[in-house]
Structure 1
Amino acid sequence: MSDEPLVRTVRPGVRVGVDVGSARVGVAASDPTATFAHPVRTLARDEQHGTDLTELVTLVEELAAVEVVVGLPLLLSGQEGEAARIARDYAVALAARVGTVTVRLVDERLTTVDAHRRLRDSGVPGRGQRKVVDQAAAVLILQTALDTEARSGKPPGEPVTTGGRRKKERRR
């Protein structure tokens, strides 16, 4: 092992983390140094009118976010199932609306299970978890992405494409 300290290599700027569910969308954000993720809110999923996407785009603009990280719930085998397809479609729709802000998909296997466990361990009763579990999962997704970038020096996951072309990544 090296005696040199671990150098944290992360692009500065607020990131937004998103956990897409069938009924709710959990949202988290990072601090401007991209070190810590914290819960922001839970949006009601609106597949018919897309009001959740509109609210999310407004939030990304208000926070002046440089990137949005959407959890991709892969199967334990690593394959994509129905939930991953839904998250991917959501990320594509979001990317089409946020302009130059990069949207990335990151592996989020078992984050909701982990979020429930952490809430239970912190004393939040089962009924109380429903309101915040999506935010907690979004925090786990975003924190994992931030930590991955800090270790590797590279943006996590895959950039979302719109219209069959890769979105240009925004540089700050």
Structure 2
Amino acid sequence: MDYLQLNVFEAAVQVFALKVFSRTASPTRKVVETPIQCSTGAFYKLFKKQAYFLPSVCGAVVQTIGLADGNRSWVNTVGSRKVIEILSADSCGDTAEKFKYVVEAVDDRSRKITYKLLEGSLLQLYDSFTVTLQVTSGSTVKWTVEYVKKNPSNEDPNFYLNLFPTINATVDIYLRSND
């Protein structure tokens, strides 16, 4: 009887270890890159310090954005938190999804900001979900999305990846017309 109990315990530990190991798998990385014609500095500045303009600039995608958890400044610094409502993947019309995120990293020299999702429907599908914006000196905007699926059968977040070119284009047009 002791032998049977020991084997059952070992089997349970092995299954648990497999589950833990699969959740620590390396994230999937997808990149969306588009050219822009406006000033790269102005584009980066809008996302770094003036994100409150996004609903008026590209309201078809970004419906609202607000400060969260006691933040008083729109400047993206490490640890700052915001809530954003964007076009929903499940929408047939104009419904929006709300997400809360934290700024995980800011590199002004390379014009890069990394956002980590804290709350929202995507966290039902993914263990982690981060988005990095980088405005390159070559007049391109690169969005890198990294995520770890909770279940291998979950879909990739292609709907959200397809929103980035629209955001880039509308911000580019806005900044060129307001220079």
Q: What's the TM-score once normalised by structure 1's chain length?
A: 0.28
User: TM-score normalized by structure 2?
Assistant: 0.28
- Structure holding more strand per residue: 2
